[in-house]
């Protein structure tokens, strides 16, 4: 009996000692850390990484030449497991890198976890810092603190089939209303084609419709947002893209549809060029900015992209800032465009790129017209993960709910997630 008691109490003791693990944030180096040694850099691995790697190698060579006794250790981390890697780096300061590339939609999560360093003074003291657009800076700012330098962006615009448009006597639409009628014309004249490829899970395709009408993601149940949503879901219908086929399409699937010649138009990104050129649509398409509500306006696009940041745990923050500004500078942004097709965030670099390649013009025009971003709030990750927006779009598109019901429900969920 005595023994049993002893075992039980020992068990109870070990249990109370085992609370869930949390790590304590490390003290940050205030003096900028050592100016020599190995700088650790994490960049995203990508399919066909070689050109990116070549540009980065060049930057590393330039950096080590200017900074004696330093070396740069670049690691390419898989995009799919980045979340775990970053969480690990936040939790274990000793293994944390100095400079990181991260997706700009991941910013709030990392910021809330307290993992990224303030770059405000670095950018204001950087000769090219003033060249960053306000939109770009805003997408890297969390609660008033600049936590990254936008390295490149990607935006979507309207791809359309020039051969189809010519044979039907159509011209590129200049308003969203015209886009709808054009899409229906294509579908009625060529029934085996979708007018414009749209999908219920393609939120980045739907958001510009909401924004163009003056709506906002945080006010998805406002009259303006509802008008915008309805103009998008009206496209998921028999006369353009039947719900049976299109209600559950992702953005990637709409790229496939356009590339394989199944659609007359598509809302695709500058980064989808290679995919389209690999399909039957190659050489038979043109791109214009996605039109807004009034003729001549542009629907605000979602500015997805990647930032470069410095970890709060970085052991060499001063060196890290030097490397970051080098890699994010005009020279290497332009080189990154040549290598990967990534749109530069610095005005000077994008001017240079536009002069070289006419393809980027509609995308740069879209950026100039003003881009939008998802709410910078750690709760947005939850909205994203629980598929609030796709559910809303799909409910309307399949007739499971009215626009009012679906937006009301989504607004409630978004509100809950953002205010928690």
Q: Which residues pair with 217 in a beta bridge?
A: none
Is there binding between residue 201 and another protein (CB under 8 A)?
yes
Is position 204 an interface residue for another protein (rule: CB under 8 A)? no
From the number of C-beta atoms within 10 Å of its C-beta (0-12, 13-18, 19+), residue 251 rates as buried
Residue 381 binds another protein (CB under 8 A): yes
* Residues from 39 through 68 that contact another protein (CB under 8 A): none
Q: Where are the alpha helices (DSSP H) in 92-221?
A: 107-112, 120-124, 134-138, 162-168, 176-189, 203-212
Angle between helices 223-233 and 203-212 (to 10 degrees): 130
* Residue 24 vs 48, nearer CB to another protein: 24
CA neighbor of 53 nearest in space, from 85, 22, 75: 75
Stretch that binds another protein, among 38-46, 320-328, 346-354, 376-384 (CB under 8 A): 376-384
Q: Which residues contact 206 (CB under 8 A, 6 or more apart)?
A: 198, 229, 232, 389, 393
Residue 139 C-alpha from the chain's centroid: 10
Residue 145: CB minimum distance to another protein, A:
14
In this chain, which stretch among 61-69, 87-95, 292-300, 353-361 interacts with another protein, using CB under 8 A?
87-95
Residue from 115, 150, 208, 228 touching another protein (CB under 8 A): that is 115
- Residues 149 and 170 sit within 8 Å (Cβ to Cβ): no
144 binds another protein (CB under 8 A): no
Residue 17 makes contact with another protein by CB under 8 A? no
Tell me which residues in 251-310 interact with another protein (CB under 8 A). Answer: none
Contacting range for another protein; rule: CB under 8 A; set: 41-49, 218-226, 326-334, 378-386: 378-386
94 touches another protein by CB under 8 A: no
Q: How many CB atoms lie within 10 A of CB 184?
A: 18
Contact between 91 and another protein per CB under 8 A: yes
CA dihedral 52, 53, 59, 63 (to 10 degrees): 150
Handedness of CA 118, 124, 125, 128 (dihedral sign): positive
Q: Please say whether the beta carbons of 179 and 173 come within 8 A.
A: yes
How far apart are alpha carbons 414 and 407 in whole angstroms? Answer: 10
Question: Using an 8 Å Cβ cutoff, are 329 and 339 in contact?
Answer: no
Asked whether position 109 contacts another protein by CB under 8 A, the answer is yes
Q: Which is nearer to another protein, 174 or 250 (CB)?
A: 250
Segment lying near another protein (by CB under 8 A), choices 84-92, 172-180, 208-216, 356-364: 84-92
- Residue-level length of the chain: 420
Q: How far is the CB of 395 from another protein (least distance, A)?
A: 5
The one among 167, 188, 386, 402 contacting another protein by CB under 8 A = 386
The stretch among 137-145, 163-171, 223-231, 389-397 that binds another protein (CB under 8 A) is 389-397
**400 contributes a contact to another protein by CB under 8 A:** yes
Smallest Cα–Cα separation from 397: which of 249, 235, 240?
A: 235
Neighbours of 241 (CB within 10 A): 28
**Binding flag, residue 418, another protein (CB under 8 A):** no
- Position among 114, 188, 280, 338 found at the interface with another protein (CB under 8 A): 114
Judged by beta carbon, residue 21 or residue 30, the one nearer another protein is 21
Residues at the interface with another protein (CB under 8 A): 3-4, 7, 11, 15, 18-25, 87, 90-91, 109, 112-115, 200-201, 243-245, 247-248, 250, 378, 381-382, 384-387, 390-391, 394-395, 398, 400
């Amino acid at each position: 009996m005595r023994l049993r008691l002893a075992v039980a109490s020992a068990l109870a003791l070990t249990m109370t000692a085992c609370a869930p693990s949390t790590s304590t944030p490390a003290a940050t180096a205030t003096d900028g850390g050592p100016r020599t040694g190995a700088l650790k850099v994490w960049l995203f691995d990508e399919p066909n990484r070689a050109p990116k790697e070549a540009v980065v190698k060049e930057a590393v060579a330039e950096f080590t030449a200017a900074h004696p006794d330093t070396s740069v250790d670049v690691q390419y981390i898989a995009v799919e497991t980045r979340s775990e890697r970053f969480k690990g780096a936040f939790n274990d300061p000793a293994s944390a890198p100095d400079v990181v590339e991260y997706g700009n939609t991941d910013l709030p999560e990392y910021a809330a976890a307290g993992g990224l360093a303030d770059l405000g003074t670095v950018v204001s003291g950087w000769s090219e810092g003033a060249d960053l657009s306000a939109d770009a800076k805003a997408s890297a700012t969390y609660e008033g603190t600049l936590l990254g330098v936008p390295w490149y962006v990607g935006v979507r615009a309207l791809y359309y089939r020039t051969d189809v448009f010519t044979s039907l006597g159509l011209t590129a639409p200049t308003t969203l209303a015209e886009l709808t009628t054009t899409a229906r014309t294509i579908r009625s004249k060529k029934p085996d084609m979708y007018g414009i490829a749209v999908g219920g899970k393609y939120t980045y395709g739907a958001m510009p419709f909401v924004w163009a009408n003056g709506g906002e993601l945080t006010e998805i149940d406002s009259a303006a947002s509802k008008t915008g949503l309805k103009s998008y879901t009206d496209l998921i219908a028999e006369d353009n893209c039947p719900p049976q086929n299109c209600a559950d399409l992702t953005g990637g699937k709409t790229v496939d549809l356009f590339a394989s010649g199944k659609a007359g138009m598509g809302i695709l990104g500058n980064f989808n060029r290679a995919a389209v050129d690999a399909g039957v649509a190659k050489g038979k398409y043109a791109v214009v900015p996605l039109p807004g509500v009034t003729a001549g306006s542009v629907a605000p696009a979602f500015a997805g992209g990647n930032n470069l940041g410095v970890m709060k745990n970085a052991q060499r923050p001063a060196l890290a800032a030097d490397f970051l500004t080098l890699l994010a500078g005009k020279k290497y942004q332009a080189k990154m465009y040549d290598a990967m097709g990534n749109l530069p965030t610095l005005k000077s670099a994008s001017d240079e790129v536009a002069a070289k390649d006419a393809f980027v013009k509609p995308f740069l025009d879209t950026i100039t017209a003003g881009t939008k971003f998802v709410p910078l709030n750690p709760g947005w990750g939850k909205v994203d993960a629980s598929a609030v927006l796709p559910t809303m779009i799909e409910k309307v598109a399949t007739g499971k709910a009215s626009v009012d019901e679906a937006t009301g429900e989504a607004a409630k969920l978004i509100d809950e997630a953002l205010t928690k």
